Amino acid sequence: MRCLHSEKAHDLGMTCCDFSSQPVSGGEQGLQFFRLASCGQDCQIKIWVISFTHTLGFELKYKSILSGHCAPVLTCAFSHDGQMLVSGSVDKSVIVYDTNTEDILHTLTQHTRYVTTCAFAPNILLLATGSMDKTVNIWQFDLETPCQARIAEDQPKQFTEDWSEDDVSNWLCAQDLKDLVGIFKMNNIDGRELLNLTKESLADDLKIESLGLRSKVLRKIEELRTKMKTLSSEIPDEFICPITRELMKDPVIASDGYSYEKEAMENWISKKKRTSPMTNLVLPSVVLIPNRTLKMAIDRWLETHQK
């Protein structure tokens, strides 16, 4: 055997790679393109496109990065038809991707330790995953089930302050307070407004005359506030913006190497000197780079707490 090519793929080391058995497309002179997936200690999955003929030789091109894991990725494998890619990670999760859209189809979190191996069955929609928790899990795909991303859109937001007016209306109905939905809608009460309601505003602004009804609403709101405080105390420090001290929704990496909430950092740069909020040193650049890996980790943490 002879080595056709050598490529630096993952900065911290590579752990696994897999070819798709199905060509991406055909071409002239018998040219075929194949996908190659690689994963490594940098928490990334990279997709490459490879072509090889005896006449034109070998060519490897980097295509894209699949995000989702927040720890080193130990294994990856294509489905038999090449339409899906599965990965397993030190973060104990298994992620299934659509190879055409590169969207996440499923995130499986049943393993309790590192996921070290995974494999698709050749001619049936079955998936096997293995872990350091000493188990092998067999999964069957339900073609009628919408992808996880679509389901997530229909789930209520974890943090009350992010609720829309419709979310507040749904919450009122769940608390057996559906008679107040119209009043809250007329006054444009969203999640942030809901948390700021007091007995005075319920009586004077919303005109809720019943003392018992006002007391019930305040009691339910206090339960939400308590839940918010409990959840906030459990947030990992790396998910907190150093400027706002709140959970980041759109994290970006600044030139000082730290991650911040995008809007907060943009305001910092526009209103203050070009200094780092963390080090107080001059920022070499004001370019902000989206931290997609951190955002996926935050979204998965929120999903876990939602369950």
User: Are residues 51 and 136 located together in one domain of the fold?
Assistant: yes
Whether pTM > 0.85 for this model: the answer is: no
Query: Could you tell me if 93 and 300 are in contact, meaning their C-beta atoms sit under 8 angstroms apart?
Result: yes
Q: Indicate the residue among 199, 230, 261 that finishes a domain.
A: 230
At residue 232, the pLDDT reads 59
Q: What angle do CA 16, 19, 20 make, to 5 degrees?
A: 130
Please tell me whether residues 23 and 75 are part of one structural domain: yes
Task: Give residue 76's domain range.
Answer: 14-140
pLDDT at residue number 101? 83
Is residue 34 one of the residues assigned to a domain? yes
Residues 53 and 97 in one domain: yes
The answer to whether position 206 is within a domain reads yes
Q: Kindly state whether residue 165 falls inside one of the protein's structural domains.
A: yes
Predicted confidence at residue 56, as pLDDT, reads 65
Q: What pLDDT shows up at residue 147?
A: 39
Q: Show the low-confidence residues of the chain (pLDDT under 50).
A: 26-29, 144-156
> What is the rounded CA–CA span in Å between residue 282 and residue 273?
8
Please tell me the distance from the alpha carbon of residue 33 to that of residue 49, in angstroms, as a whole number: 6
Q: Please tell me whether residues 36 and 109 are part of one structural domain.
A: yes
Task: Compute the distance between CA of residue 97 and CA of residue 86 in angstroms, rounded to an integer.
Answer: 6
- CA nearest 35: which of 19, 51, 46? 19
Report the length, in residues, of the chain.
307
Do 246 and 203 have their domain in common? no
Q: Which of 140, 173, 190 is the last residue of a domain?
A: 140
In a domain, 289, yes or no: yes
**Within its chain, how far is the Cα of 127 from the centroid?**
22
- When divided into structural domains, the chain yields a total of 3
Write down the pLDDT at residue 9. 87
Q: Which of 230, 263, 280 is the last residue of a domain?
A: 230
- Per the CB < 8 A criterion, the answer to whether 252 and 262 are in contact is yes
Same domain? For 82 and 196 the reply is: no
Shared domain for 216 and 274, answered yes or no, is: no
Which CATH number covers residue 184?
A: 1.10.150.50
In a domain, 153, yes or no: no
Residues 6+ apart with CB under 8 A from 73: 15, 16, 39, 40, 43, 44, 45, 87, 88, 89, 90
Any idea what the CATH number is for the domain that residue 254 is in?
A: 3.30.40.10
70 lies in the same domain as 130: yes
